[in-house]
Amino acid sequence: MPSVGTLMVDAGRAGRVGVFRGVAGPYWSLRPVCGGVEWEARPEHVRPATAAERLRARTARANARSRGEVL
């Protein structure tokens, strides 16, 4: 079980990267890195993000923040 706040990749959603938020029944809750609505993922489709994926997600968040899209 990952720690809350860990960046994870949901292979069931074309490799979408999200922040692990917790467990909701049989699913894991993930939230988009740049904010937005959480989604539920099957644990067997989720894996920890690689270093490159974490860097890409953090860069996307920084860019969105500079545009005023994310606080």
Q: Please write the tens of the pLDDT for every residue from 10-34.
A: 998 888 999 999 999 999 999 998 8
* Single-letter amino acid, residue 66: S
* Spatial CA neighbour of 18 closest among 69, 45, 26, 66: 45
Asked whether residue 71 is assigned to any structural domain, the reply reads no
In a domain, 13, yes or no: yes
| Residue 21 placed within a domain | yes
Q: Under a CB-based contact definition with an 8 Å cutoff, are residues 48 and 7 in contact?
A: yes
pLDDT of residue 71: 63
Looking at the structure of the chain, the number of domains it has is 1
The domain of 30 spans 7-66
- Domain assignment of residue 18, yes or no: yes
User: Are the CB atoms for 5 and 35 separated by under 8 Å?
Assistant: no
Q: Tell me whether residue 1 is in a domain.
A: no
In 3D space, the residue among 46, 68, 47, 70 whose CA is nearest the CA of residue 58 turns out to be 70
Give the integer Cα–Cα distance in Å for 22 and 33.
15
Q: Is the pTM of this model over 0.85?
A: no
Instruction: Please indicate, yes or no, if residue 39 is contained in any of the structural domains.
Output: yes
